[in-house]
Amino acid sequence: MEWIDAASAAERLGVKPATLYAYVSRGVLKRRHSEDGRRSLFDADEIERLARRGRPRGQPPELVIESAITALGVDRPYYRGLDAIDLARTGTFESVAEWLWSAPSARWASDPAALQAAVTAQHGLAGDLLPLDRLQVITTVLGASDSLRYQLDQESVVATGRRLICGLVDALPALGPGDPGSLAGRLWGKICPNPPTPALLHALQAAMILLADHELAASTLAARVAASAKADPYAVVLTGLGVLGGPLHGGASYGAERLLAEVAEPGQAPRAVGDRVRRGERIPGFGHSIYKNGDARGALLLDLVEAAAPGHGRLAAARAVLVEVRRRRLPEHNIDLALATLGAVTGMIPGAGEAIFAVSRTAGWLAHAMEEYARRSLLRLRAAYVGPPLQ
């Protein structure tokens, strides 16, 4: 059997690469990945048969967006061609965000006046409000305070992105000392009352990098639609935040937190998992729609937490849950479980995983927004109407 790369397959079919991948998602074509996971390969005979038969018809159109930001490999994302796993081992969140934005390195700081307004706006909120709810309030106030929010050229959006992400972190109530030397260190002090160790802070930094983007995830698609209508960056981020909290997306980390909280000691793992199976519920922190055989992001983050806090009781609970899920032959764990484990080991507040996810993914949303601003056209999905006959 001869295997050819995506460029050769698209050329033979006379379609764009994005259309080729749409055929894969619709089951028209099959593909496999190269051994390094960087390339998609197609059966040359299958491509030839499709080329002779002509383009598939009779199926509703599928939205395909060409993007140069993130490609999804077998078990991991690649940011503008670079392995996100490698970036997470050695990079900083700020440098990775700038890589996603194709922007030069510059100073990251929030706007003092906008920051004060965002802090003040939270005075009437409940003290136990989850961080994700606070982030929506903060984004709204930061946007209302920014007279440059409607500047949509790339340089301006990059500058807005730095101010916005710093503002999201700095406006959250302080809980502990943190580390002002990095954005990850500043975020630590807003979601954890305990001081960080260098190794655990590195794990948080890695988590932020791993979560910075994930191609057209639900929140990113929503953010791109908003950006295509020329919504300003703050409105784009608010759109993403609104979708992120769903339990099938970023909210899954909160579900994984609650799962681990039920396992006070390893022997309770079978009951916690079994009860969810009996109720027909998904096991939060397990399974992935893209990475069917395991999420390398979750594996790396879990390894970093284990290396930073060997023998910790919360790690034993997480490992017991893993063993029970595997005993039942359920899907492998994903980054949500690793994020919940990081929170449990460090003593982070409830909802910390969602906050890490939201702050990190803001970098990706803005990268996608910049692509849409440059396109100068509105994303318009079409519905396949199945309602009553038209009168």
Q: Where are the domains of the chain?
A: 3-64, 110-391
Rounded to an integer, the average pLDDT of 31-36 is 82
Q: Which residues pair with 82 in a beta bridge?
A: 79
Whether the predicted pLDDT of 7 surpasses 90: no
Whether the predicted pLDDT of 259 surpasses 80: yes
Pick from 189, 209, 217, 192: which is nearest to 304 by CA?
Answer: 209
In the annotation, is 75 catalytic? Answer: no
Q: Which percentage of the chain shows pLDDT scores above 90? A: 74
Q: Do domains 3-64 and 110-391 have the same CATH topology?
A: no
pLDDT, one tens digit per residue, over 101-129 is 999 999 999 999 999 999 999 999 999 99
Any alpha helices (H) in 264-351, and if so which ranges? 269-278, 296-308, 313-327, 335-346
**Beta-strand relationship, 3-5 and 40-43:** antiparallel
In the annotation, is 312 catalytic? Answer: no
Catalytic residue among 214, 288, 333, 368: 288
CA 146 to each of CA 77, 167, 223, 254, 267: distance values in angstroms, whole numbers, following the listed order: 33, 11, 19, 31, 52
pLDDT reported for residue 60:
47
DSSP 262: H
Pick from 299, 388, 290: which is nearest to 336 by CA?
Answer: 299
Rounded to an integer, the average pLDDT of 323-340 is 95
Catalytic residue among 75, 333, 336, 368: 336
C-beta of residue 78 within 8 angstroms of C-beta of residue 84 = yes
pLDDT reported for residue 55:
60
Whether the predicted pLDDT of 225 surpasses 80: yes
Pick from 335, 330, 382: which is nearest to 62 by CA?
Answer: 382
pLDDT reported for residue 290:
86
Q: How confident is the model at residue 32 (pLDDT cuts 50, 70, 90)?
A: confident
pLDDT reported for residue 52:
79
H or E stretch including 149? none
Q: How confident is the model at residue 383 (pLDDT cuts 50, 70, 90)?
A: confident
C-beta of residue 38 within 8 angstroms of C-beta of residue 73 = yes
Whether the predicted pLDDT of 310 surpasses 50: yes
C-beta of residue 245 within 8 angstroms of C-beta of residue 391 = no
pLDDT reported for residue 26:
65
Q: Which percentage of the chain shows pLDDT scores above 70? A: 97
Whether the predicted pLDDT of 25 surpasses 70: no
> Which CATH number is associated with domain 110-391?
1.10.230.10
Find the range with the poorest average confidence among 50-59, 97-106, 139-148, 168-177: 50-59
pLDDT reported for residue 338:
97
Rounded to an integer, the average pLDDT of 270-295 is 92
The whole-chain average pLDDT of the chain stands at 92
Q: Among 1.10.1660, 1.10.3470, 3.30.2010, 3.40.50, what is the CATH number of 3-64?
A: 1.10.1660
Whether the predicted pLDDT of 34 surpasses 90: no
CB under 8 Å to 195, separation ≥6 — which residues?
A: 176, 177
- 62 vs 247, which has greater pLDDT? 247
Pick from 386, 384, 390, 388: which is nearest to 62 by CA?
Answer: 384
